[in-house]
Structure 1
Amino acid sequence: MENLAMMLFNDCFRGINILLTGHTGFKGSWLALWLRQLGANVTGIALPPDTHPAHWDLLRLSLNSHFADINNRQDITAVMQQAAPELVIHFAAQPLVRASYEDPIATWQTNVMGTVNVLEACRHQPSVKAIVVITTDKVYENAERGEHFIESDPLGGHDPYSASKAACELVVQSYRRSFFSKQNVLVASARAGNVIGGGDWARDRLVPDIIRAMHSDSPLMIRHPQAIRPWQHVLDSLSGYLCVAQHLLMGEADKARAWNFGPDQRDNKTVADVLVQMKTHWPELIWSEAPPPHVHEALNLMLDSRAAQTQLQWQPVWNFAQTAQHTAQWYQQFYQHNNIISVQQLDFYIRCAQQAGLIWVSH
């Protein structure tokens, strides 16, 4: 794995200092694993994991980890100065739609002012060359017309999570224009689809809800079975983020912009489609539709990722069926054999990308 991994992304991450916020979360922990495999010097800053089990705890990675809140500007600044990163990847956020209804103030504080704190620390840290801020596919003003959103579509959001992430995009744009363009620091934002994969136990997400329902021997209650989402494996989204980071580190100023990373359009599926696919791996899975009322959630959400495909030469590696298969396999190995197969799945993902001839694995 290591020899193969060291040749990814033109080997641009080997030996460089990277600050990763939110490294204890689902996506952040997978990226921390990948960056360590790529030979980067990773410093993480995040709150402690809020689930048990947690992917971060299971990985037992060796990196410089700080438990701190991005709402504390002093802590962020201190870690930034200590890490002296060339690249900053900002994941840390309040990432759940329904939680944003329960605590909108904390959601807005973390997703907007927390991002401001990170960018402020970057602005005063001379080592920083590139920044990638992770937002979401939910930043678009969604009129439910079934369109595939492109990066230039209007930003918006009904719920506090979506709206706060749209505001985060405006923060990124403002800092890019006001400060970083004068400092030759390249800043991009990344908007991925509905990400699934092994190691996620967050509440109010479909796959973790499936796992909890089966282990409690109770039927799964589904709020919106016909809601359409751009489902993709966590590694597909992360490969997109790393592609952007590579281009920024190479000094390509035209890549300092917003990017969509979604699945092939054929893989935009309903929640019911996901359940049917997962049932092929877990025949005991049963579900029923939860009675209303429900808080508002978009029923149709799809991304157009042609810009990333043409300008970054990125594309998803695993289709919908493969994504479901590898997700189910991760949990089955964990619960049936106490095996953590994250490294093996990353290795296999890279080999699949190599077989597909993707440019980020061709060097």
Structure 2
Amino acid sequence: MRILVTGADGFAGRHLCALLRAAGDEVLEAHGPRAEGVNSHALNFDITDEAAVRAAMERARPEGIIHLAAFSSVARSHGNPTRVFAVNAMGTVNLLTAARESASEARVLLISSGEVYGPVHEGARATEEQPLAALSPFATSKMAAETAGRQFHRSYGLRVVVARPFNHLGEGQDAIFAVPSFAAQLRAIQKSKGEPVLRTGNLDSIRDFSHVGDVVAAYRLLLTAGEPGQTYNICSGEGRTIRSVLEEMLVLSGVSARIEQDPARMRPSEIPYSVGTPDKLRALGWEPKRTVTEALREVLGPTGL
């Protein structure tokens, strides 16, 4: 299949493109405008530029589209909601409009987020049918993008599927996120470039973690087998505290450090518990094949750090 991947130069995007190529797909990478020159074969455009998106889609004419390009930091979204909505909501509308005009038969997978559920009742697991309760500009913009996708499906017959991935980990994730931030601090401590203090946000929140390899495998499955107009969680169905993840990283790295909570790393609105159910995805044949421990080893590096 000829597949256009937006956000191909991002964390999940790099893993996804490698998986698609290994499966024999023809991959058209779409990078942001700041990536110009990094990959001469990539399409470089700003997802918020309607004309540029249309031109890229007309050039690509894909059979499948996986839309990953996004403002992805929940924490930073509180400080720049206008940009978040421009990229995540209007960027998606630009993509859908271009697809309708130049690739109307393509299957389209929109990547949303488990953040759209907001706080899940402790002990429960979010299903795709439950009401949404976004607590951040990031999550609200993803809700808007989902709504646009469903409207384009209902009104114009565009074959849109929505994926809601929960937290995923692995090699190459930006240090603005918690787990790679922990790894970066552990490296600095090990190399004696920092005091043996590791600064964190809220460690008591419970999250549903998966290996990025399993998440991108779900993306390919949903692109080919997901039912248009439907939404699918991508998650493990199991919750663990961020504290337990950090403690495991300390053991794996062999580094000792004092843990201090940093007010600057706290979110304005915190979700104490977020766990989903992957039953709908599993019904398509998806099963996780990698563990969180494997992902943490990859984050830390081949030698532990």
TM-score in terms of structure 1 length: 0.76
Percent of residue pairs identical: 26
What is the match of residue 239 of structure 1? 217
What is the match of residue 129 of structure 1? 106
1:299 equivalent among 272, 280, 289: 272
Task: Please say if 1:220 is aligned against 2:198.
Answer: yes
Within 5 Å, which residues of 2 pair with 1:1-363? 16-47=1-32, 64-126=41-103, 128-142=105-119, 144-180=121-157, 185-203=158-176, 205-217=177-189, 218=194, 219-248=197-226, 254=227, 256-265=229-238, 268-292=239-263, 294=266, 295-310=268-283, 312-328=284-300, 331-332=301-302
Per-residue CA distance 1:245-283 (angstroms, 9 max, x = gap) = 1215xxxxx454100010142xx2111110111122211
Whether the 8 Å contact between 1:232 and 1:262 is mirrored in structure 2 is yes
Which one has the bigger helix percentage? 1
How much does 1:47 deviate? 1.6
Whether the 8 Å contact between 2:119 and 2:272 is mirrored in structure 1 is no
Whether the 8 Å contact between 2:57 and 2:102 is mirrored in structure 1 is yes
Structure 1, unaligned runs of 5 or more = 1-15, 51-56, 249-253, 336-363
- In structure 1, C-alpha distance between the alignment counterparts of 2:23 and 2:104, rounded to whole Å: 20
Counterpart residue identity of residue 211, structure 1: A
Counterpart residue identity of residue 278, structure 1: M
Whether the 8 Å contact between 2:120 and 2:274 is mirrored in structure 1 is no
Distance 1:287 1:109, change over 3 A: farther
Whether the 8 Å contact between 1:46 and 1:70 is mirrored in structure 2 is no
Per-residue CA distance 1:98-119 (angstroms, 9 max, x = gap) = 1101111100111100000000
- In structure 1, C-alpha distance between the alignment counterparts of 2:141 and 2:128, rounded to whole Å: 17
How much does 1:39 deviate? 2.2
- In structure 1, C-alpha distance between the alignment counterparts of 2:180 and 2:107, rounded to whole Å: 33
- In structure 1, C-alpha distance between the alignment counterparts of 2:102 and 2:145, rounded to whole Å: 21
What is the match of residue 347 of structure 1? none
Distance 1:287 1:190, change over 3 A: farther
Count of aligned residue pairs for this structure pair: 296
Distance 1:36 1:324, change over 3 A: same
- In structure 2, C-alpha distance between the alignment counterparts of 1:49 and 1:206, rounded to whole Å: 25
How much does 1:128 deviate? 3.6
TM-score in terms of structure 2 length: 0.89
Distance 1:286 1:128, change over 3 A: farther
Per-residue CA distance 1:153-202 (angstroms, 9 max, x = gap) = 1123111111111222111111111112xxxx421011111111011124
Whether the 8 Å contact between 2:96 and 2:152 is mirrored in structure 1 is yes
- In structure 2, C-alpha distance between the alignment counterparts of 1:102 and 1:75, rounded to whole Å: 27
Whether the 8 Å contact between 2:64 and 2:107 is mirrored in structure 1 is yes
The 3-state SS of whatever aligns with 1:23 is coil
Structure 2, unaligned runs of 5 or more = none
